[in-house]
């Protein structure tokens, strides 16, 4: 499978996205061409799961029709072809995020990737205590007195694995607080992150607030403390250019289903020198060199962390999704979604009784907006919008501590993507404007 890349000079030469182009793009997404409750579908839930273009659907279908076989295990023709397209897909994703081939690991989703790091770090303490593995493991092992730092805005997937790692190792979990507008308190970050910090984990872009966090500033604090830096890129990789090397993080995770790919596929990036010494998380076939009845020796990364039968067709489809995004131009996608996000915030702020979370209009955000309608529960808001053919997300969005900090239990979230038009946003705003009257709030 060829790796498609768009040179920066070509991407800059492309015109900005507009409604006319987006309407052409929509033709690539069959699911969008339907009626919901008698209304044309307006899909504003891409922050949860994005839709799939035909090229991605066909890539997975073509694998099953022409190349379906186990990878890395057979000498027959189909097995060789399956392995080639599987590893070509890895190279495509490595290029997409600016990583090395050996630093790109397949997972089921970002949550698995974060758990992989967490369990590998707790296994590091066990291995180091028994003199097993590389000497560098002792520096990675956590114990009482060590600290793990997250932020108050984290998705549960980037919070609970660290809570459990602290429980398993005796380390202390701390967090960087936010301001009332959702911004990280960087003055507090400088004091929370210190000599005891062994892990610093934070989201690139908040799935509730829409805020894009200052990655380089946070990473610099982590580097000064000698901490491992873990980036949750689930809400950034689909929407803006991502280069893990330039961001200087040690690990990063993303989920395919948020970037035009199928469910069941994710990616973990890790610096090669770390991956090659960390103990594996899952063990079994395909990730070993030698096995006796007493012990096993493990392959280097990436196979070291890919036990068992892999997500082959999903990886191939994820590579097709990355190619689609690259060909469209992530800078252009980000600019268009930013425009849609601003349009949403401006419109929502103008509706009486609506409170928008995150940055106010005019400040940078990704193309999503979570909001509270005074006197109406978020689930009722979501059902009202659905009756008008508008799909949004309702609930705490797997961020209960963040909602609690902002005095809420649930919100409604609209999240746009490259296939949404300004008309989609306007239909959404018109519907939200009628919510309180409908419920007599």
Identify which of 240, 296, 237, 246 has the alpha carbon closest to the alpha carbon of residue 268: 237
- As given in the structure block, the two tokens for residue 354 are 């609506």
What CA–CA distances, in Å, run from 431 to 206, 239, 282, 285, 424? 25, 26, 47, 53, 11
- As given in the structure block, the two tokens for residue 174 are 């701390």
Return the C-alpha torsion angle 124, 106, 167, 207, nearest 10: 140
- As given in the structure block, the two tokens for residue 118 are 């967490």
Identify which of 332, 329, 437 has the alpha carbon closest to the alpha carbon of residue 381: 437
Instruction: Spell out where 177-329 has E strands.
Output: 197-203, 228-232, 251-255, 266-270, 288-291, 296-298
Which residues on neighbouring strands pair with residue 369, listed in sequence order? 414
Q: Are strands 172-176 and 147-151 parallel, antiparallel or unpaired?
A: parallel
Cis peptide before 43 (omega within 30 of 0): no
Question: Which are the contacts of 404, defined by CB distance < 8 A and separation ≥ 6?
Answer: none
Burial string for 129-148 (b: 16+ CB within 10 Å, else e) reads eeeebbeebeebbbeeebbb
Which residues on neighbouring strands pair with residue 172, listed in sequence order? 147
Identify which of 43, 5, 102, 11 has the alpha carbon closest to the alpha carbon of residue 420: 43
Catalytic residue among 69, 398, 408, 433: 398
- As given in the structure block, the two tokens for residue 272 are 């090669």
> Is-catalytic flag, 234?
no
Distance in angstroms (rounded) separating the CA atoms of residues 50 and 238: 9
Distance in angstroms (rounded) separating the CA atoms of residues 370 and 344: 10
- As given in the structure block, the two tokens for residue 441 are 């709030």
Q: Which helix (H) or strand (E) holds 388?
A: none
Q: Are strands 266-270 and 104-107 parallel, antiparallel or unpaired?
A: antiparallel
Q: Which residues are catalytic, by number?
A: 398
């Amino acid at each position: 499978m060829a790796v498609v890349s768009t040179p920066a000079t070509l991407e800059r030469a492309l015109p900005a996205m507009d409604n006319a182009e987006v309407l052409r793009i929509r033709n690539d997404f069959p699911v969008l061409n339907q009626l919901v409750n008698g209304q044309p579908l307006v899909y504003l839930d891409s922050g949860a799961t994005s839709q799939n273009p035909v090229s991605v659907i066909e890539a997975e279908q073509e694998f099953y029709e022409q190349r379906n076989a186990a990878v890395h295990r057979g000498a027959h023709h189909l097995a060789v072809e399956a392995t080639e397209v599987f590893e070509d897909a890895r190279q495509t994703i490595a290029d997409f995020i600016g990583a090395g081939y050996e630093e790109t690991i397949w997972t089921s989703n970002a949550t698995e990737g974060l758990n992989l790091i967490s369990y590998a770090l707790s296994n590091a303490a066990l291995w180091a205590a028994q003199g097993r593995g590389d000497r560098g493991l002792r520096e990675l092992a956590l114990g009482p007195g060590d600290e793990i730092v997250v932020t108050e805005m984290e998705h549960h997937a980037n919070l609970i694995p660290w809570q459990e790692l602290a429980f398993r190792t005796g380390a202390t979990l701390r967090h960087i607080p936010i301001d009332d507008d959702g911004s990280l308190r960087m003055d507090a970050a400088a004091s929370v992150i210190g000599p005891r910090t062994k892990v610093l984990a934070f989201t690139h872009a908040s799935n509730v607030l829409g805020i894009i966090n200052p990655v380089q500033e946070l990473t610099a604090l982590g580097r000064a403390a000698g901490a491992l830096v873990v980036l949750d890129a689930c809400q950034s990789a689909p929407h803006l250019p991502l280069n893990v090397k330039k961001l200087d993080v040690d690990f990063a995770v993303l989920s395919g289903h948020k970037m035009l790919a199928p469910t069941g596929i994710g990616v973990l990036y890790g610096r090669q020198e770390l991956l090659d010494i960390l103990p594996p998380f899952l063990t079994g076939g395909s990730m070993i060199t030698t096995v006796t009845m007493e012990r096993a020796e493990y392959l280097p990364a990436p196979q070291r962390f890919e036990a068992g039968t892999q997500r082959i067709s999903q990886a191939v489809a994820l590579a097709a999704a990355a190619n689609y995004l690259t060909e469209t131009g992530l800078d252009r996608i980000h600019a268009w979604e930013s425009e849609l996000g601003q349009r949403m915030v401006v419109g929502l702020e103008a509706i009486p009784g609506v409170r928008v979370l995150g940055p106010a209009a005019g400040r940078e955000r990704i193309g999503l907006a979570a909001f509270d309608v005074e006197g109406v529960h978020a689930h009722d808001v979501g059902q009202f919008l659905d009756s008008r053919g508008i799909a949004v997300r309702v609930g705490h969005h797997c961020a209960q501590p963040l909602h609690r900090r902002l005095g809420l239990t649930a919100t409604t979230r609209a999240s746009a993507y490259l296939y949404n038009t300004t008309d989609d946003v306007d239909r959404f705003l018109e519907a939200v404007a009628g919510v309180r009257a409908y419920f007599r709030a």
